[in-house]
Structure 1
Amino acid sequence: MGTPLGDFIRAKRDSIQPETLGLPTHGRRRSPGLRRSDLAARAGISVEYLTRMEQGRDRNPSTAVMNALADALSLDPAERNHLRYLAKITGSECCTRTRPAPPRRDVRPPVLETLRLLEPGIAIVTNRLGDVLAHTSGFASVTNGTGLLDSEVPNLTRYVFTDPRARTLFADWDDVADEHAFDLWLGPSVENSEWLTTELASTAGPDFTRRLNRHLIPQRGSLRLNHPSGCELQLSRETLELSSDAQQLVVFLPADEGTAQAVAQLRRQPYGQLRAIS
């Protein structure tokens, strides 16, 4: 059985074309990308050791080995951080077998007060699992009619992968799906994400599983929405990490004048007020 670390190393290895590293491309190749022998040689480790890591039979690689692999794979800073994170959680998995605690859903009063100050703007408090913990009336206005907030316990990740309306709402659905799949690795804890990952694997099918296991670092550009009212919205995102709470405060800002006018029109329709979801 593999591990998140092994899956990531293998996915990156498969995505690299040998010629980009100055390696010869002649000879028959059983799989795309870089051979294990090529990567092992670049990292200064044995093929046997690399195989054990990719297959999940070695879960505690040293920092020096991780740095060598990052260099050999030409990882960018975001990918290097993810590699270190996966090494950490892979090593802890074999030692931690306690029952995971439910994800935290309460939002601290100062955070709620900050959200109130952002009214009538478009803002939300969420966690990496996609749980919608609190939102402004502006967020409700923009998402009205999409089904996103219909559930008693709204979850963005579940909505993206299981609600057909999401594919219409998000103009760049593939990018949004990649973001939410990646963020499950960064949840309140890896164990806490298991309940959602298991559920989505059965309901969303192989498309979700493929996105989860390829560990694609998202770019998180502007969010383009096809609103049910007929408006096309383009929103930039500013994210404040609430590290001690394992939560995020995300503010959505109109990226152009047309979006600003459309959002102003949507705000004139009474859809409620600031809401904390328990």
Structure 2
Amino acid sequence: METPLGKFIRAKRDAIQPELLGLQRYDRRRAPGLRRMDLATRAGISVEYLARIEQGRDRNPSRAVIDALADALCLNPSERNHMRYLAKIASDQCLVDIRPVAPPRRVRPSVLRTLQLLEPGVAIVTNRLGDILAHTTGYQAITSGTGLLDHERPNLNRYLFTDIRARAFFADWSDIADEQTFELWQAPSLENLEWLTSELIPLAGVEFTNRLCRHEVPRPRVLRLNHPSGFELRLLRETLELPMDDQQLVAFLPACDRSARAVEQLQRMPHGRLRSIS
């Protein structure tokens, strides 16, 4: 059974142009990218062993083998860390009965107080599954009329893949969808990841599953939003990790004067009943 680690290695191998590594292009080869033989040679392992890893028949490659494959694939630091993580969750030690479990939603009082200090700025407390656990009034202002906070338990992934309004709201919808899907691999536990994916896969279909299997490490970018009222926002994101909670506090900062003015105007507009931070 193919593992996420095997899929990641195969995807990165297919993405490499042989000539960029000083190798000959294989004109008669149907599959794109680097041959398994060439990757194995560059990593110093046998072709048969590489095939077992890619196909999920060997789930316990050593750290040295993982690092050698990362070097051979020319992975950047983020991709290398992701590959190590996939090797960890693919190991035999993780082969247990995975039952979907919802992650805890409690936000510590001190974190809530920190969030309140950011008022009336734009900020949220979230987790890697995309649950929006708490938010400022500023965040409600910039998302008003988009449907993102309409759900009793708002989740960014559910919104991205199941609400048609998300494609208009996020100017770079495809990039944000890639980014959020990649974050799922950093979920607090396999049980939490299974909880969300079992809910999303039937609703989101291939748009979601293809991204989940692609393991495309996102690049930092300015968040561009098209508010229904006509404002165009460009926001920078600063993330404070809360490791003991498996949560993050994310602050959104205007990337230009025009966006700063737009945020101020949206904050002055009536948006109905405010959702309390909880």
Q: What is residue 228 of structure 2 aligned with on the other side? A: 228
Q: How does 1:47-86 map to 2 (within 5 A)?
A: 47-86=47-86
Q: How does 1:176-191 map to 2 (within 5 A)?
A: 176-191=176-191
Task: After superposition, give the CA deviation of every residue in 1:131-175 in whole Å (9 maximum; x if it has no partner).
Answer: 010000000000000000000010001101111000000000011
Q: Secondary structure at the match of 1:30?
A: coil
Q: Secondary structure at the match of 1:97?
A: coil
Instruction: Assess, with a 3 A threshold, how the Cα gap between structure 1 residues 235 and 87 changes in structure 2: closer, same or farther.
Output: same
Q: Distance in 1 between matches of 2:179 and 2:27?
A: 37
Q: Distance in 1 between matches of 2:77 and 2:269?
A: 44
Is the 8 Å Cα contact of residues 134 and 274 (structure 1) preserved in structure 2? no
Task: After superposition, give the CA deviation of every residue in 1:190-213 in whole Å (9 maximum; x if it has no partner).
Answer: 221112212222211112111111
Q: Distance in 2 between matches of 1:243 and 1:270?
A: 36
Q: Secondary structure at the match of 1:258?
A: helix
Q: Distance in 1 between matches of 2:92 and 2:245?
A: 21
Q: Distance in 2 between matches of 1:216 and 1:161?
A: 17
1:153 correspondence with 2:116: no
Instruction: Assess, with a 3 A threshold, how the Cα gap between structure 1 residues 117 and 13 changes in structure 2: closer, same or farther.
Output: same
Q: Secondary structure at the match of 2:252?
A: strand
Q: What is residue 277 of structure 2 aligned with on the other side? A: 276
Task: After superposition, give the CA deviation of every residue in 1:85-142 in whole Å (9 maximum; x if it has no partner).
Answer: 1111111564332535420100000100000000000000000000010000000000
User: Which range moved further: 268-277 or 128-137?
Assistant: 268-277
Q: Distance in 1 between matches of 2:276 and 2:127?
A: 16
Q: Secondary structure at the match of 2:181?
A: helix
Is the 8 Å Cα contact of residues 43 and 71 (structure 2) preserved in structure 1? yes
Q: Distance in 2 between matches of 1:45 and 1:97?
A: 32
Q: How does 1:190-269 map to 2 (within 5 A)?
A: 190-269=190-269
1:102 correspondence with 2:116: no
* Displacement after TM superposition at 1:273 (Å): 4.9
* Displacement after TM superposition at 1:242 (Å): 0.6
Q: Distance in 1 between matches of 2:194 and 2:208?
A: 14
Q: Distance in 2 between matches of 1:93 and 1:207?
A: 31
* Displacement after TM superposition at 1:27 (Å): 4.5
* Displacement after TM superposition at 1:57 (Å): 0.8
Is the 8 Å Cα contact of residues 179 and 220 (structure 1) preserved in structure 2? no
Q: Secondary structure at the match of 1:245?
A: coil
Q: Secondary structure at the match of 2:251?
A: strand
Q: Distance in 1 between matches of 2:87 and 2:246?
A: 20
Q: Secondary structure at the match of 2:239?
A: strand
Q: Distance in 2 between matches of 1:141 and 1:93?
A: 46
The share of aligned pairs that are identical, in percent, is 66
Is the 8 Å Cα contact of residues 136 and 273 (structure 1) preserved in structure 2? no
Q: What is residue 137 of structure 2 aligned with on the other side? A: 137
The alignment covers a number of residue pairs equal to 277
* Displacement after TM superposition at 1:39 (Å): 0.4
Q: Secondary structure at the match of 1:275?
A: coil
TM-score, normalised relative to structure 1? 0.96
Is the 8 Å Cα contact of residues 181 and 208 (structure 1) preserved in structure 2? yes
Q: How does 1:15-54 map to 2 (within 5 A)?
A: 15-54=15-54
TM-score, normalised relative to structure 2? 0.96
Q: Which runs of 5+ in 1 are unaligned?
A: none
